[in-house]
Structure 1
Amino acid sequence: MRIRYLLLNAYGTGGTIRTVFTQATTMAGLGHDVEIVSVIQHKDKPNFDLDERVKLSSIVDQRAPTGDEPAPGVVARYRAGRRERLRKLSARIIPAGEFAYDAFNRYVEQEVVRYIKSVSDGILVTTRPALNILAARYADSRLIRVAQEHMNLGTHRKDVQRAIARYYPSFDAVAVLTSRDREDYEKLLPGTRLVRIPNAVHSMEQERSDHTNKIALAAGRLAPQKGFDMLIPAYKKVAERHPDWQLRIFGTGKKKQELRALIEKHHLYNHVFLMGHTDHMDDELTKSAFYILSSRFEGLPMVVIEAMTHALPVVSFDCPTGPADVITDGKDGILVPPKDVDALAEAISKMMDDEELRHTMGAEALKTAQSYAPEHVHMMWEELFTDLVRTSGKDAAAAA
């Protein structure tokens, strides 16, 4: 089969990117012709390793000029001027409520549509609402089209939900991450083929934590969704009881200065550390004793499952959706009510108080992670693709 994955930015660091890279690698290993197409490219190499059998291309190159380019001719100057004018205009088709709306100016949107219209065979997998909507509207009818949803339906803003209701029925299949997601989407999209396929971890061969280092770890974009503005005040109460522990928060984002100011406000500069980006998250997880998820909402929190592959128990808000689909409260982690800062602080302290609890829950967390192993999850994808080629009535010969 020929399979193309369309990502917004294959050169970023998000969980969706890593998930798609892992999936593409497995599909290529099974003998399929696989390509990842990145809407934008801002650096030379992606952050995550990619199997050499998987092609990687981009639609809009946003890298800085090298200075070696020849002087542009009249036509090139005209095109450059038009391109700059379009870049100053907001996207026209994508709903303004899409979380990545700012990445889609008129020029980027136009180029994505141009690319989608150029694809006429195989399977096209799109990976977020903006790309799903564009594929639903403009992809060749001969294509087998699969939409991936990495966020729960209720998280999307109303204009995005309306667009989902209008355009997603044209897909051959819509894949969601959890059983609760599937129930929600079924209500909105009756008659649409909906499948629940969780994301896979990149490997189960991780070094395990021994739970003895006095380090709690959290990770994610420094953005409101991840709730670090709630975690830091919660940790003030924790630090009073456990001054010898550290909270390390990995990630980058627009809220860095605000979070730093919050750390200063609560006098946590010796206890809470904004670690920035790391290329060695597996090593950092191994060094930690447990993981904390403080998100306001999630799709399927892959970093939680990655932590579990290191035998780390998890303390988490029971936010919509995902944590409760992965964590069994009291068995492999502790779930507390969403946005309940006091309950989060108490659960963190409980985990710090009891090394034996961390050992026991960590062993169960490792068992939980097994159901997200690549060989298990990716077989579900191959079965879906094979069935779509067989049953869709589309250009099966080209797809296969």
Structure 2
Amino acid sequence: MRRGRQAVARAAVGLLELANRRRARRAAPRDTKTVRILLLHVNGMGGTIRTVLNLALYLAREREVEIVSLVRVVEEPFFEMPPGVRITFLDDRTAPRGRIAEFLSRRPSRLVPKEEKAYLSNTLLTDLRLVRYLRSLRGGVVIGTRPGFNLALGLFAPPEVITIGQEHVTLESHGPELQAAIKRRYGRLDAFATLTEADLKDYGKTLRANPPKRLLRIPNAIPELAGDVSSLEEKVVVGIGRIVWAKGFDRMVNAWKTVAAAHPGWVLRIYGGGLPEREERLQKRIEDAGLTGSVFLMGSTPEIGVELSKASVYAVSSRYEGFGMTILEAMSKGVPVVSFDCPHGPREIITDGHDGLLIRSKKAGALAAGIGRLIEDEELRRTLGANALDTARLYGLDIVGGQWAALLSDLDESRDFPGCSLGTTS
């Protein structure tokens, strides 16, 4: 059975190679006038969505930009869509579908590795529609925003399309089978961009034998947020993120027991959503700790800048971060950050003692001590907050967008079609 599938896969790769050679002979020179960005669910909430919308807004100044959302599971977007940017859905799950589409949607994906965090959002239907979409393109740039998309680009993008992979989490957070697929297929990409220097180093080692044409680091840019710069006078500490294990809100609640005992009147507000059972578990932890009137699960909000402007400290309890976008958002409101020194992003953004505090220990008590230090020392809080504003300016949209523009310009000058050997699909 396995040998049969491998034989079919090899035959399919052979047909793709033949088709690509024919297309390369007939195609016009590659260009970057049109940019398409692949996203899992543009109408959802989360840091990747927010930063992709931000990038699309910048690129639309001089290019035609389309965001291609693999699925649509809610009708209305959580964030405001950027003007001048086209939105396309490959699998609209809010609308009725035919029997064949329903049948395919109940079959598991064969294109996306099971270790990909979005595996369960993919189906055989999304596989077929994504491949059909990619093969329909006749030029321009396609940017993938997660491993499943990047792997598909490396295999199915036509030769006249410029392919760029992007990553929003760390390489080490992927399982071994997914990392092996990345090692095999990312060399087909024209460029691959990480968010941090640490992850760039990890990818450089992994892809040493089969690198993409360009391997570089481009951080996320800070989106324009509503709300004023914080006065740092409110007795409020804020945490932001999905209610998942990686964000470590269990550790934050444990830390807050110490903070609340030493500083009555201060409150912790946690912004972000998650599966109902995870929210219930976190709420129970809060109640069991006797913190019902001190820790509040605020849910998700599209106006996080307004809520940050009411905070005096921003706390990060994550076990790992792909980058740490919310750290920059807090800094853009002049709010000093206390963060565990987790892999990979915080230490590349925060300069300890200058614009925030990095907590080297992984213990909740150490995070509590850092929060307590900023609560007790108003002068330090204000100094770090002022420096945080300067740090945030380095990640402005014009600066980071300029790095993307430079990459596209560089790729535009190198218009030769890539070789058509697709390599193994195993």
Query: TM-score, length-normalised on structure 1?
Result: 0.92
What one-letter code is carried by the residue in structure 1 that aligns with 2:53? F
Computed over aligned residues only, the root mean square deviation of the Cα atoms, in angstroms, reads 1.6
1:237 positional shift:
1.1
CA distance in 1 between partners of 2:255 and 2:132 (Å): 48
Alignment match, 2:300: 277
- Structure 1 ranges of 4+ moved more than 3 A: none
Alignment of 1:1-400 (within 5 A): 1-29=33-61, 31-63=62-94, 65=96, 80-190=98-208, 191-192=211-212, 193-203=214-224, 207-254=228-275, 255-337=278-360, 339-394=362-417
SS at match of 1:147: strand
1:109 deviates by: 2.3
Residue 70 of structure 1 corresponds to which residue in structure 2? Answer: none
Could you tell me how far apart the structure 1 residues matched to 2:404 and 2:136 are?
25
- Kindly state the Cα deviation for residue 338 of structure 1 after the two structures are TM-superposed: 5.6
Q: TM-score, normalised by structure 2?
A: 0.87
CA distance in 1, matches of 2:139, 2:151: 19
Instruction: Give distance in 2, aligned partners of 1:380 and 1:197.
Output: 7
The offset of 1:313, in angstroms, is 0.5
Q: Deviations over 1:158-202 (max 9, x none)?
A: 121111101111000000111111111110112432111100001
Deviations 1:341-400 (A, max 9, x none): 1111111111111221111000011111111000000011011011101114149xxxxx
**3-state SS in 1 of match to 2:394:** helix
Q: Distance in 2 between matches of 1:127 and 1:5?
A: 7
Q: Residues 195 and 392 (structure 1 numbering): CA distance in 2 closer, same or farther, change over 3 Å?
A: farther
Residue of structure 2 equivalent to 1:74: none
CA 1:248–1:195 in structure 2 vs 1: closer, same or farther (change >3 Å)?
same
Contact 1:218 1:247 in 2 (8 A): yes
Distance (Å, rounded) in 1 between the aligned partners of 2:384 and 2:273 = 29
Closer, same or farther: CA 349–109 of 1 in aligned 2, 3 Å: same
**What is the CA deviation profile of residues 231-290 of structure 1, one whole-angstrom value per residue up to 9, with x for unaligned ones?**
111111111111210000011102101101100110110110000111221110000101
**C-alpha separation in 1, matches of 2:157 and 2:59:** 22
CA distance in structure 2 between the partners assigned to 1:47 and 1:338 by the alignment: 36
For structure 1, the 5+ residue unaligned runs are 66-78, 396-400
Task: Name the stretch that deviates more: 241-250 or 47-56.
Answer: 47-56
Structure 1 distance, partners of 2:310, 2:180, is 44
Q: Distance in 2 between matches of 1:89 and 1:56?
A: 26
Change (3 A) 1:343 1:244: same
User: Offset at 1:205?
Assistant: 8.0
* Cα distance in 2 between the residues matched to 1:84 and 1:36: 24
* Secondary structure of the structure 2 residue equivalent to 1:287: coil
How far apart in 1 are the matches of 2:264 and 2:177?
46
Please give the secondary structure, in 2, of the residue aligned with 1:230: helix
Superposition deviation, residue 64 in structure 1: 5.1
Q: Which residue of 2 aligns with 1:72?
A: none
